[in-house]
Amino acid sequence: MKEIQYLTSYRVLKKIASGGMGSVFLAEQMGADDFRKIVAIKTIKRDFLKNKENVDLFVGEAKLVSDLIHENVLQVYQLGQAMVGSSSGIYYIVMEYAHGKNLADFIREHKNRQKVTNVEIGAFIISRVCRALHYAHTKKDVYGRPLNIVHRDVT
């Protein structure tokens, strides 16, 4: 049986977030017969590419969470490296896109309107974050060994 290589193309639509180590873009995955799927693409900033440890952390994150399948965790579809000119390019993670406001925007909007978040809504949000963290922290590999995932960026 011949090995088949699947090729996928992405078209970046806009930047939707930027953080300490990278940025997240809204993109469109394009396939055969006008297939289209909206995805998020997370990239590592060029300055961080100079340090191998940063690159290893980014790649390690993608590999570690690639098998996390939970209703409160965005799925990772692909880890790739885009070639830019003659250099090795940038690493990127293609992941599920969840349309809507993020928690920071939700909190900011309430503060701007000088409104207090309803206790029930706050408890619901926290419970979903806890469910996702519990799932990740107790996840095991295919051999039943703990993955020992610790999420270091819950804010």
How far, in Å, CA of 128 to CA of 124, rounded?
6
Decide which of 3 and 43 is more confident: 43
How far, in Å, CA of 19 to CA of 102, rounded?
14
pLDDT-derived band at 1 (thresholds 50, 70, 90) equals very low
How far, in Å, CA of 135 to CA of 150, rounded?
11
List the one residue out of 109, 108, 150, 102 whose CA is nearest residue 125: 102
Q: How does pLDDT run across 100-133, given as a tens digit for each residue?
A: 888 888 889 999 999 988 899 989 999 999 999 9
- Residue 5 has a pLDDT of 52
pLDDT-derived band at 3 (thresholds 50, 70, 90) equals low
How far, in Å, CA of 147 to CA of 150, rounded?
9
Q: Which two tokens stand for residue 142?
A: 């295919």
- Residue 117 has a pLDDT of 83
Decide which of 57 and 4 is more confident: 57
Which residue type is seen at 131?
A: R
- Mean pLDDT across 123-148: 93
